[in-house]
């Protein structure tokens, strides 16, 4: 597997740090992990893409799925994406307007989960 996943808690958030390549082969592992987290009761999740080398449309599909699941439960999904080459993928697909994208984990977790639930559309 060219994918690593590590979760940690920051205030009311669970930060899932992803490393490696998210593609059609590795994305199911990410999908399963996010579903497990939501089923375990995590409601405010921040996905940190800072160590991601490659992200394709399959990865976007998984993030969209997590976003929808969390919204349906009054939760929020934040993304940390400091790299232009990944941001480009979100912009081209118009998903930069759907996701709450931050430059750092500190930015994504600032202000508390209540704020995230209100504005994380």
Partner 1 sequence: MCLTFSPDPAYVRTVRMVAVAVARRAGVADEMLDEIRLAIGEACTRAVKVHRRDGLADPIEVTMSDGAPDRGRGGSGGRFTVWVTDRGSAEAARKELAGGTGEIVARATVAPSGEDTGRNVLDEEALSIGVGLALLAGLVADFAVLDGPGEVGTEVRMSWPVGTASAGAAGTGTRPESATTWRVRRAPRARPGGADDGSEGGR
Question: Which residues of the chain form contacts with partner 1 (CB under 8 A)?
Answer: 2, 21, 23-25, 31, 35, 39, 54, 56-58, 60-62, 64-65, 67-69, 71-72, 85, 88-89, 91-95, 97-98, 121
Of the pair 10, 31, the CB lying nearest partner 1 is at 31
Least distance to partner 1, CB of residue 110, Å: 24
Cβ-based nearer residue to partner 1, 43 or 67? 67
Judged by beta carbon, residue 10 or residue 87, the one nearer partner 1 is 87
Compute CA distances 83 → 7, 80, 115, whole Å: 21, 9, 25
Least Å from the CB of residue 47 to partner 1: 15
Q: Could you tell me the smallest distance in angstroms from the CB atom of residue 5 to partner 1?
A: 18
Spatial distance between the Cα atoms of 119 and 60, rounded to a whole number of angstroms = 20
Q: State the minimum distance, in angstroms, from the CB of residue 77 to partner 1.
A: 11
Taking the C-alpha atoms of residue 48 and residue 81, their distance in angstroms, rounded to an integer, is 7
Please identify, using beta-carbon distances, which residue of 33 and 69 lies nearer to partner 1. Answer: 69
End-to-end CA distance of the chain: 32
Backbone angle region of 19, left / alpha / beta, with phi > 0 → left and psi within -120 to 50 → alpha = beta
Do the beta carbons of residue 16 and residue 37 sit within 8 Å? Answer: yes
Query: Residue written as tokens 């808690």?
Result: 9
């Amino acid at each position: 597997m060219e994918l690593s996943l590590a979760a940690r808690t920051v205030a009311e958030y669970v930060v899932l740090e992803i490393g490696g390549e998210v593609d059609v082969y590795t994305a199911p592992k990410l999908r399963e992990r996010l579903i497990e987290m939501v089923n375990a009761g995590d409601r405010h999740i921040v996905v940190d893409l800072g160590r991601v080398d490659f992200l394709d449309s399959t990865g976007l599909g998984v993030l969209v799925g997590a976003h929808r699941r969390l919204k349906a439960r009054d939760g929020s999904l934040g993304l940390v994406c400091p790299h232009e080459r990944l941001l480009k993928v979100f912009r081209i697909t118009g998903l930069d307007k759907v996701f709450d994208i931050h430059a750092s984990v500190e930015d994504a977790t600032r202000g508390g989960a209540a704020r995230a639930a209100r504005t994380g559309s």
